[in-house]
Structure 1
Amino acid sequence: MTTIPNTADSTAEPDPFDALRPRLFSIAYRMLGTRADAEDLVQDAWLRWRQNTDQAAVQSPEAWLVTVATRLAIDRLRALKVEREAYVGWWLPEPLVESERTPEAAAELASELSMALLWVLERLSAEERAAFLLRQVFDHDYDEIASLLGKTEAACRQMVHRASERVQQTRARFDVPRDAHRRVVEKFIRAAQSCDRDAIQALLSEHVELVGDGGGKVPSLSKVLHGAFRIANLFWVFGRRWGPHAVYQHALVNGEPGLLRYVDGKLESAMAVATDGEQIVGIYAVRNPDKLTHVPQSLYC
């Protein structure tokens, strides 16, 4: 893997790429769903930027780089969709896990990165996903999106409209304060840790869904699980089996309060949690060890 050097130099003009690198990674991750693919794409965009011999003539480096990154992401996602058809079980994005961050930064990231949103976006075509993200997440004008995708403005408006409808139909959207979200997750952790089936079920919406991703590497759900009773029973059975050997720990998963589960001190899964502020409406459990390499592997590390 080629490493992108730090192009900043106190004696030279700052390279626009350095300031735009986080934005390019954001686009790439939201399109592709894994850290490695996103980093590879950003490196590819950097190489193309360095090979552009007339950078001074580029009126807007941001527009140039966003265009390159988005087009690369569309091409890469088309190839990945073919690969993911052979994936064992359900495919979830690689979770971005942090122990904590400032409330301001967490609030900024949550609506853009939530696992629930990325799970829905997996059902869109590559161009629909790009158009939706550029408009709804990165606030690009339709003329910019049309130029970037090589489509008419009308076509882009239609793509964003269709994508927005699918998002609304598939996932209830809630504007939940971060503190309320965290309180629900913490109550759930206490209920699951104490193996209290009634308390677990009370925290789950009637229409809650649980999606598991083991990638064929570890056992996981073969279908999406629905309903408070069934999901509560699953956590209760797990708690009965492992008892105090299973420990839940709060963490930020894709910018929102979620949890990590450890068994015998070793990481077993990372779970993103969607909530309406009172109950949990979705749990997205990543167990594929290939997607957990950036998560603390031991409970006390």
Structure 2
Amino acid sequence: MWGGDGGGVAESGGVEEFLGHRPRLFAVAYRMFGAGSEAEDVVQEVYLRWAAADRAEIANAEAWLTTVTVNLCRTALVSARARRETYVGPWLPEPVPTGALGPLETVEERESVSLALLTAMERLNPVERAVFVLREAFGYPHAEIAAMLEITEVNSQQILHRASGRVRTGKPRFAVPADEARTLIERFLLAAATGDVTGLRALLAADVVSMADGGGKVTAARRPVTGGDQVARYLLGLTKFLTSASTFDLDEVNGELALIVRADGVVASSVMFFGVDGAGLVDTVRIVVNPDKLGFLVAAGA
């Protein structure tokens, strides 16, 4: 398609050229996996193939690198999905600092890395996920997507239509301005810190759902908790795991404001995301406490 994979020696500047593309390749791979660590592994393999390729035969470096990245992800997703089927409790994507995910200048670009959308994308098979990511998040024309995935352009359009329907089922997602999100989370923190179950309940929608990803590594609810009263009591119960050294920060993670709880003010022990309905009430709480999924945030210095 865009070049061979011959055994030429890397010419001068090959590393620099790859590094110029690297942030976008990571952004593609992360959306494919929903896991920063696995995305990093794929990007490293892409570099090895780039270094070994005869780049004189590569007419379009971006297209070649993107094609290799997406197809490596498609292959790796098969085993990743098998592991997730035996995962202990709810599976949630691995939180990543917003700055590591490329330019997110529009509501649609931010949605493409949100935990809500990445979780919904678990319903897609690897090809559907590739088409959805390439078209919705990066705006590639169907003709280029078809060439990358070795399908027809019409098939690419059909797959996108099917994938969009599977991902965007259920309640609509509302984008909350950062200042409103900050006020909401601060009110949540105050109610939780003071044990104000009534105040906390007032912030929650009647059909709110809370999911916690502990992966069997730490204590976490292994099934979603539903309903305003039940979720309020459940969230207040989580405060018993806090210590006097626990600290709280609001930071941009996955394109949205998240609450980061740190043990001893250093190591992130949990990250909480809040989905909001049209009435301004929290209708979804996603909590990542699996330490294996917090390493990327810690390493990135979030």
Aligned match of 2:3? none
Number of aligned residues:
286
Matched, 1:29 2:25: no
1:285 aligns to what?
A: 287
Aligned to 1:134: 134
What are the ranges of 5 or more consecutive residues in structure 2 without an aligned counterpart?
1-9
Q: Which runs of 5+ in 1 are unaligned?
A: 1-6
Match of 1:112 in 2: 112
Distance 1:233 1:21, change over 3 A: same
1:268 equivalent in structure 2: 269
Mean Cα deviation higher: 24-33 or 55-64? 55-64
Rounded Cα–Cα distance in structure 1 between residues aligned with 2:61 and 2:257: 35
Partner of 2:175: 175
Q: 1:288 to 1:110 in 2, by over 3 A?
A: same
Contact 1:189 1:249 in 2 (8 A): no
Whether the 8 Å CA contact 1:272–1:285 is kept in 2: the answer is yes
Q: Which moved more, 1:23-32 or 1:196-205?
A: 196-205
For 2:238 and 2:141, how far apart are their aligned partners in 1? 48
Q: Secondary structure at the match of 1:269?
A: strand
Post-superposition CA distance 1:90-143 (Å, at most 9, x none): 211111147x99xx8686763221111111111211111111111111111111
Question: For residues 225-236 of structure 1, what are the structure 2 equivalents within 5 Å?
Answer: 225-236=225-236
Correspondences of 1:146-295 after superposition (within 5 Å):
146-239=146-239, 247-262=247-262, 267-276=268-277, 278-295=280-297
RMSD, aligned α-carbons: 2.9
Q: % of aligned pairs identical?
A: 37
Task: Report Cα offsets for 1:239-295 as digits up to 9, x if no partner.
Answer: 467586765432222121111234676643111222247222221111111111244
CA distance in 2, matches of 1:243, 1:46: 43
Maintained 8 Å contact 1:120/1:171: no
Question: Is the contact between residue 90 and residue 222 of structure 1 (CA under 8 Å) also seen in structure 2?
Answer: yes
Aligned partners of 1:264 and 1:67: how far apart in 2? 43
Preserved CA contact (<8 Å) 1:184 1:275:
no
Contact 1:28 1:73 in 2 (8 A): yes
TM-score (norm 1): 0.84
Partner of 1:70: 70
Q: Relative to structure 1, is the Cα distance of residues 208 and 136 closer, same or farther in structure 2, using a 3 angstrom cutoff?
A: same
Task: Give how far 1:199 is off.
Answer: 1.6
- Which secondary structure state, in structure 1, belongs to the residue aligned with residue 252 of structure 2? strand
Distance apart, 1:80 and its partner CA: 0.8
Mapped to 1, the partners of 2:179 and 2:173 lie a distance apart of 17
